[in-house]
Structure 1
């Protein structure tokens, strides 16, 4: 159906702006360009949606974004004020030339209303932004860590006490070198994701509720010892990404140091790593599970290339699930060998895949 000019004006005139904004909110960012050109009213409603969330992964799109922001930098309503989420992610940033990195830094300095900032690049680091910028409303920050930002990065994070979600990803060059970050202090941090050794730099007051830790080495005691005084005393979801870890010793340490944990997930770190059958096969963790009185979800995720299990194998899994739940009555969900077991009066498999 094509609206006549008169009908179009009638709709725009009588529908509340909130309704028009709601309708525009269902449109993708490329599709928002067209309504931006229809009228001043629609332009004013669509522009904040168009620039509210910016994700860049290619050099031409970065150059275009910087150019547009600079073009309207001195206008009464600069576009930078609309940006709430900004993300630059490049797995191969070798083509990122220094001048462009500087231009992005300058553009970001004008985005005072940022709530979420993600800068994940291998070889490019925005040291100038880390040193000078401040975003009063920043809640989420994700950054690629390297030795050359070991001082300015913690200072930037600590300066933003509003951050409640923090992810620090080490570049390959950083993983190959030993270096320490300065202390990071965040009084409101609830979600944290990082390599295990970066836990040593974190300071917060029992606020962490959701944690993802990457273990590239099997040693976990130092990490969990540091983690214990940082976590929320009420609930905790812990995701462990590792290829080789002594699960039995790990469970014992968790039971002793952070018994308030409510969700625990083991996940394979690298797809090429061997399977984890030996991780759960004959795993005698009942003693440790008895001390985890709040644990509701236990998962061994992404360890098998296929979910196909014979009926006999599923019966063995069910026996193991029942042993674990007897030791830990609070358990209501267990992911094992690719199957999700749920307790609803009895233990049963949810969404069983078709066996071929």
Structure 2
């Protein structure tokens, strides 16, 4: 079918008669490429789509990051500043040369409406100037890779933004020292090592989610989880990420967070292979949880043990009657009216 210019103009005219609120909802369903194309249709669509396109600025590739920095460097880039609320660096192995770090810093410093800042990188990137000078009045989430070169600047940044932070991720490949506790009264979720957790003051915080990773590769227990008991009782989800997953870690979590609803264990390397005796041991630790409903374990076992998978799940349910979903050894079991069934392979 051939669409004439008159028909195309009529179609555009019909769309523009829709309420602005409805157009806004339509634009939010578009892909990034479709939204960019809509900006080129008319001044109206450009005005409607631009704030939505730039509200969350994240990148899949280095090329996208460079294109964004070039856009912000133009005179028109200043008009985009009020719209940007979420900025996240690409997860690819980007080579952060000093010139690129400086360009990122220049683009980020004016973003006074920023709510989410993700500076977690695979490389040791300091962002010293940004961390020392930036002030984001509305910042609620901060993800950062910490190393000896930037630890002092990171701590200063946290002290300036501590009153409003609700989500914090502190990632590091070697131990870092926090000389004095940092007060985070609004924190709701935290991703950090157990040692960093011990240096954060979250006694008054509405903390509900913890992701704790352990850098040790040896089969040792986690360091004692240092958290105020009243705060621990508010936590509802705990995830452990370990190079080696010690079974005793189940006991550490059960003692510290007996009221959690969700407990997950993720292997940072290859999935952990556990024995039949350790499966029984897990059951004894599950007895200490009183409200646990979801258990996700990124651990494997020998085929001869896995053949008894249904019996294992029933045994764990006998230890913890609140369980309703268990992921274990590549399968997910769901409970309905005290009957368990492995419905699907775990994703």
- TM-score, normalization by structure 1: 0.84
Deviation at 1:302, TM superposition (A): 5.2
Paired position in structure 2 for 1:17? 20
Equivalent residues of 2:207, 2:234 under 8 A apart: no
Equivalent residues of 1:144, 1:169 under 8 A apart: yes
Deviation at 1:119, TM superposition (A): 1.2
Secondary structure in structure 1 of the residue aligned to 2:190: strand
Tell me how far apart the structure 2 counterparts of residues 299 and 240 of structure 1 sit (CA, whole Å).
10
Quick check: 1:320 aligned with 2:319?
Answer: no
Equivalent residues of 2:332, 2:345 under 8 A apart: no
Secondary structure in structure 2 of the residue aligned to 1:276: strand
Equivalent residues of 1:237, 1:263 under 8 A apart: yes
Equivalent residues of 2:71, 2:77 under 8 A apart: no
Cα RMSD over matched residues? 2.7
Paired position in structure 2 for 1:46? 49
Paired position in structure 1 for 2:107? 107
Equivalent residues of 1:72, 1:79 under 8 A apart: no
Deviation per CA, 1:46-73, whole angstroms, max 9, x where unpaired?
Answer: 1112211112355543333223223236
Paired position in structure 1 for 2:233? 233
Secondary structure in structure 2 of the residue aligned to 1:147: coil
Deviation at 1:313, TM superposition (A): 4.2
**Aligned with 1:295 (options 292, 304, 318):** 292
Equivalent residues of 2:221, 2:246 under 8 A apart: no
Which residues in structure 2 correspond to 1:86-97 (within 5 Å)?
A: 86-94=87-95, 96-97=96-97
**Aligned with 2:321 (options 305, 322, 329):** 329
Quick check: 1:283 aligned with 2:286?
Answer: no
Tell me how far apart the structure 2 counterparts of residues 220 and 229 of structure 1 sit (CA, whole Å).
20
Deviation per CA, 1:90-127, whole angstroms, max 9, x where unpaired?
Answer: 54333x22122112112111111112111122132211
Paired position in structure 1 for 2:341? 349
Which residues in structure 2 correspond to 1:160-239 (within 5 Å)?
A: 160=161, 161-171=163-173, 175=174, 178-182=175-179, 183-205=181-203, 206-217=205-216, 218-224=219-225, 226-227=226-227, 229=229, 231-239=231-239
Name the stretch that deviates more: 345-354 or 124-133.
345-354
Deviation at 1:202, TM superposition (A): 1.7
Tell me how far apart the structure 2 counterparts of residues 25 and 42 of structure 1 sit (CA, whole Å).
12
Equivalent residues of 1:339, 1:349 under 8 A apart: no
Tell me how far apart the structure 1 counterparts of residues 309 and 214 of structure 2 sit (CA, whole Å).
27
Paired position in structure 1 for 2:252? 253
- In structure 2, the CA distance between the partners of 1:333 and 1:244, relative to structure 1 (3 Å rule), is same
Equivalent residues of 2:178, 2:199 under 8 A apart: yes
- In structure 2, the CA distance between the partners of 1:74 and 1:53, relative to structure 1 (3 Å rule), is closer
Equivalent residues of 2:189, 2:207 under 8 A apart: yes
Deviation at 1:189, TM superposition (A): 0.9
Deviation per CA, 1:266-289, whole angstroms, max 9, x where unpaired?
Answer: 221103x6x422387443244433
Name stretches of at least 5 consecutive residues in structure 2 with no aligned partner.
none
Quick check: 1:67 aligned with 2:70?
Answer: yes
Tell me how far apart the structure 1 counterparts of residues 48 and 275 of structure 2 sit (CA, whole Å).
57
Deviation per CA, 1:155-183, whole angstroms, max 9, x where unpaired?
Answer: 21232222211112214xxx2xx430343
Number of aligned pairs?
Answer: 336
Secondary structure in structure 2 of the residue aligned to 1:267: strand
Equivalent residues of 1:52, 1:83 under 8 A apart: yes
Tell me how far apart the structure 1 counterparts of residues 243 and 62 of structure 2 sit (CA, whole Å).
35
Tell me how far apart the structure 1 counterparts of residues 337 and 321 of structure 2 sit (CA, whole Å).
12
**Aligned with 1:33 (options 26, 33, 36):** 36
